[in-house]
C-alpha cells in the first residue's frame, strides 16, 4: 500500500465467504484494505493480502503492529479493524470433540481477535483518526446450541470483549469505538458443514437444512453489504452488542 488513502481497513478471514465479500466491498477510491487469512488467493487491485495462520496469532499481531507503526497517521482519516476470521470445529458434543480442533477454534476465534485488537489499539493510540474495531459475532454467541460449544463460547466472548474494551477506550481522548455484531445467517462453508453433519452428533441439523431450502440464507455479498452499512453508521459504537437483523 504505497498510495496514501483516507480510510484504512483491516479484515481477517478475507480469503473467502463473508470476509472476502467485506474486503471487496470496501475496495473503493480513497480506501486501503488489508486482508489477513490463512490462504491468500489472487486479490483484486488495491487489496493487500497476508497469508497468516491465525491459529498461531502472536507473530501475526506483532507483524500487524509493526506495519501500522510504519504508516504515516496523517494519511488516514479513519482506521478500522474487522475481526471476522473463525474456525468451526466439526459439530459434535464437547466430550467427543477433537482436542486440536477445539484449540484452533479458540485461537482463531478469540485469541487472534484479542491480540490483533491489542496490536491495532497500541499502534494507533496517538492517531487523530476515527478508530473502530468490529468483532463479527453470531446469534450463537447469545443463544446456546448443542454440539456447537466452542463456537458459541468464542462468539459470546467477543461480545463481552467489546463491552470491556469500550470501558477502556472511553478513558482516552481519542479512544476507539467498538461493536460486536451478529451478521445474520449466511450461506457459507460453515452452513454446508452444519447441513452435512451427522444428525446423531448435531441435533439441530434439520433446522439448518430448512434454512437453506426455505431461502432464509443471505449470500456473502448481501451479508457483507449489511455489515459495511452498519460499520458506516453515524451511531456506530452506541450499541456495543448488535445484530444486523435488528439494526
Q: Cα(237)–Cα(83) distance, rounded to whole angstroms?
A: 15
With a cut of 90, say whether residue 89 has pLDDT above it.
Answer: no
Confidence of residue 226 (pLDDT cuts 50, 70, 90): very high
Q: What is the pLDDT of residues 15-46, one digit of tens each?
A: 999 999 999 999 999 999 999 999 877 777 78
Query: At a CB cut-off of 8 Å and minimum separation 6, what does 197 contact?
Result: 90, 91, 92, 147, 205
- How confident is the model at residue 69, as a pLDDT? 97
The string of DSSP letters for 23-53 reads: HHHH--TTEEEEEEESS-----TTEEEEE--
Beta bridge partners of 79: 8, 131
Tell me the C-alpha distance between 74 and 192, whole Å: 44
Q: How confident is the model at residue 63 (pLDDT cuts 50, 70, 90)?
A: very high
Per-residue confidence (pLDDT) for residue 247, from 0 to 100? 62
Beta strands in 107-205 (DSSP E): 130-136, 177-182
Residue that has been written with the C-alpha cell 452428533 in this structure: 201
Can you tell me the distance from the alpha carbon of 86 to that of 199, in angstroms, rounded to the nearest whole number?
Answer: 23
CA torsion sign for 92, 94, 97, 98 is positive
Mean pLDDT, the chain, whole residue set:
94
Q: What is the pLDDT of residue 210?
A: 95
Q: Which pLDDT value is given to residue 112?
A: 98
**pTM for this predicted structure:** 0.94
pLDDT, tens digit, for every residue of 181-222?
A: 999 999 998 899 999 999 998 999 999 999 999 999 999 999
The verdict on whether 230 is a catalytic residue reads no
Whether the predicted pLDDT of 110 surpasses 90: yes
Given 76, 151, 208, 230, the catalytic residue: 151
Classify 243 as helix, strand or coil. strand
Give the Cα separation of 100 and 116 in Å (integer).
22
pLDDT at 41: 74
Q: Which three cell numbers stand for residue 234?
A: 453515524
Tens digit of each residue's pLDDT (9 = 90 or more) over 163-186:
999 999 999 999 999 999 999 999
Neighbour order of strands in the sheet with 78-83: 47-51, 31-37, 7-12, 78-83, 130-136, 177-182, 241-243
Mean pLDDT value across residues 84-109: 94
Q: Which residues contact 202 (CB under 8 A, 6 or more apart)?
A: 91, 92, 146, 147, 148, 194
Question: For position 189, what pLDDT does the model report?
Answer: 86
Helix (H) or strand (E) run with residue 224 in it: helix 220-231
pLDDT > 90: percent of the chain = 88
Amino acid at each position: 500500500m504505497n498510495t496514501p488513502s483516507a480510510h484504512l481497513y483491516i479484515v481477517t478471514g478475507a480469503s473467502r465467504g463473508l470476509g472476502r465479500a467485506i474486503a471487496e466491498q470496501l475496495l473503493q477510491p480513497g480506501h486501503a484494505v488489508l486482508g489477513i487469512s490463512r490462504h491468500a488467493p489472487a486479490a483484486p487491485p488495491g487489496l493487500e493480502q497476508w497469508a497468516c495462520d491465525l491459529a498461531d496469532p502472536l507473530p501475526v499481531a506483532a507483524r500487524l503492529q509493526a506495519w501500522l507503526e510504519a504508516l504515516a497517521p496523517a494519511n488516514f482519516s479513519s482506521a478500522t479493524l474487522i475481526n471476522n476470521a473463525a474456525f468451526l470445529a466439526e459439530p459434535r458434543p464437547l466430550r467427543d470433540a477433537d482436542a486440536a480442533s477445539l484449540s484452533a477454534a479458540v485461537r482463531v476465534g478469540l485469541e487472534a481477535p484479542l491480540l490483533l485488537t491489542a496490536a491495532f489499539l497500541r499502534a494507533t493510540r496517538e492517531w487523530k483518526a476515527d478508530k473502530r474495531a468490529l468483532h463479527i459475532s453470531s446469534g450463537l454467541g447469545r443463544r446456546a446450541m448443542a454440539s456447537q460449544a466452542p463456537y458459541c463460547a468464542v462468539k459470546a466472548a467477543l461480545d463481552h470483549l467489546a463491552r470491556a474494551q469500550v470501558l477502556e477506550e472511553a478513558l482516552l481522548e481519542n479512544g476507539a469505538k467498538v461493536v460486536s455484531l451478529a451478521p445474520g445467517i449466511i450461506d457459507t462453508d460453515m452452513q454446508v458443514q452444519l447441513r452435512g453433519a451427522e444428525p446423531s452428533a448435531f441435533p439441530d441439523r434439520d433446522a439448518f437444512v430448512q434454512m437453506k431450502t426455505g431461502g432464509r440464507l443471505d449470500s456473502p455479498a448481501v451479508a457483507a453489504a449489511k455489515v459495511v452499512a452498519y460499520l458506516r453508521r453515524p451511531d456506530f459504537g452506541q450499541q456495543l452488542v448488535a445484530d444486523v437483523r435488528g439494526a
